[in-house]
Amino acid sequence: MAIKYIKYIDKINLKGKRVLIRVDLNVPLDKNKNITDGNRIQSVLPTINYSIKQDAKIILMSHLGRPKGKPDTEFSLLPVAKYLCEVLQKKVILAPDCIGQEVEKLVSEMQPRDILLLENLRFHPEEEKNDREFGRKLANLADVYINDAFGTAHRAHASNVAVVEFFKEFGGGFLMKNEIEYFRKAMVEPARPLVAIMGGAKVSEKLDALENLIQKVDKIFIGGGMAYTFLKALGYDVGKSLVEGDLIETAKMIMAKAKERKVALLLPVDCVAADQLDSRASTKITSIQEIPPGWMGLDIGPATRVLFAESLAEAKTIVWNGPMGVFEMEPFSKGTFAMVEALAESSALTIVGGGDTDVAVHKLNAADKISYISTGGGAFIEILKGKPLPSISVLERTG
C-alpha cells in the first residue's frame, strides 16, 4: 500500500471554523453502560485538544456497535459523551441525531472551543452504504473535515469516504498520522532485519497478509491455531488441532515461496496440548510430532517460546498480529505473554496490531515498552495485505 501526500490537522487553519472530526469511539461497554476500555478515546485526545487550542468549533462523529441501521438506545453514544466530559474536563453535548434540523440548530449555536458529539452514525443505513447524499448532509455541518479514525479506515462508509467530496479543506488527525508514519517505518522503509509474527486462529483470515509479507520480511513466525495447517502441510499428525484442510496446498505454496526468497519461516516445535478446548482441560507439553490422538495444540510450548524469542535478538523492526494460543484461557496464555515480554525487551522498532494482541500487551502492562500499538484490527490487517484503505485514499492529495 503506497500512500501519497496527506495534509494533517496542524497544517490546516481551524481558527473559529466548524471542524467535523471522524473518530473511532466504538468502545466496549459493560451491562451498566460503563466503558471498560477507553484506549480508543484516549488515542484521539491529542487531535481534540489541538482543535480546542485552535479555537475551533468541534463536531465529533463516530459509530458504536451494530445497531442495524436504525436508532437503538442500546447503542447510544451517551456513555462516550460522559467519558469525554470527564477526560477533557469540558462540557460535551450529545446531539439527538447526526443529521437533521435539530443537529443543524445545535451547530449554529456553537461557540469556539465548544464540543458537539453527533449520535451514532450507524442509526442510519446510509452510513454503511457510503451514501453520497448522507455524506453531503454530514458535510453541511462544517467547514473543515478531519479523519482520525484509523480503526475504520478499511471501511468505505459515508462518514469517512463520501463526506470528503464536499470539503475544500480536509485532512488527517494526529492518530491517523501516527498510524501511517509507523506503517511507513515498518513496511515501506524498514530497518532490517524485519520480522513478522503472525498468530490467530485461521490461515484463511491472514492468507493475503502472509503472501504479501513473504515479499517484504526477512523472517516470519507463525503461531496460534493457524500454525497447525502449516504443520499438517509438512506431514505432521496434529491430532484434533485446528486445520483448514482446503488450505494445506496453499500453506505448502507459502512455505515454498519463503524458501525461494530466503525468508526464514519459523513454526512451533512444541505446544501445550489439551484434550478439549476448556480452561479445566487436561493439558500436557508435547513436541509437535507427539500430539496425542484426539488432543489439540492450544498454545506454543516452552521450546518454541525460547526459539521465537532468540530469533528476535537481531531484529531491527518487528510487526506482530495475532496471539500465539487461546490466551484468554490461563493454561494457554504463556506463549502470547512470552512474545509480549520478548517485544518489550527488544531494542527494535516494535509495532503491534489487532485487538487480541493489543489486549495481551495491556494485560502485562507493557504498552509503554512497545514502540507503537495500532488502534485498527481490520485496518492493520489490510495494511499487512498491502491493500489500499478507502478512507485514507480519499485524503490523498497531489500537492
Residue among 216, 204, 218 nearest 251 (CA): 204
pLDDT band at 387 (very low <50, low <70, confident <90, very high): confident
Is 245 a residue of the active site? no
Is 378 a residue of the active site? yes
User: What pLDDT score does 63 carry?
Assistant: 98
CATH 3.40.718.10 assigned to domain 5-177? The reply is no
Q: What is the pLDDT of residues 19-30, one digit of tens each?
A: 999 999 999 999
Q: What is the mean pLDDT of residues 330-338?
A: 95
Q: Where do the structural domains in the chain lie, given as residue ranges?
A: 5-177, 190-385
Distance in angstroms (rounded) separating the CA atoms of residues 287 and 324: 16
What's the mean per-residue pLDDT of the chain?
A: 94
- The one-letter code for the residue type at 86 is E
Distance in angstroms (rounded) separating the CA atoms of residues 223 and 308: 10
Higher pLDDT, 37 or 12: 12
Mean pLDDT is lowest, of 66-80, 96-110, 224-238, 351-365, for: 351-365
Classify 190-385 by CATH class: alpha beta
pLDDT band at 362 (very low <50, low <70, confident <90, very high): confident
User: What pLDDT score does 2 carry?
Assistant: 58
Distance in angstroms (rounded) separating the CA atoms of residues 356 and 353: 8
Residue among 120, 299, 124, 101 nearest 200 (CA): 299
pLDDT band at 398 (very low <50, low <70, confident <90, very high): low
Q: What is the pLDDT of residues 222-280, one digit of tens each?
A: 999 999 999 999 999 999 999 999 999 999 999 999 999 999 999 999 999 999 999 99
Q: What is the pLDDT of residues 30-50, one digit of tens each?
A: 999 999 989 899 999 999 999
- Which of 40, 216, 219, 305 is catalytic? The answer is 40
- Which of 90, 378, 386, 387 is catalytic? The answer is 378
Instruction: Return the residue matching grid coordinates 437533521.
Output: 100
- The one-letter code for the residue type at 45 is L
Residue 288 scores a pLDDT above 80: yes
- Which of 202, 252, 284, 387 is catalytic? The answer is 202
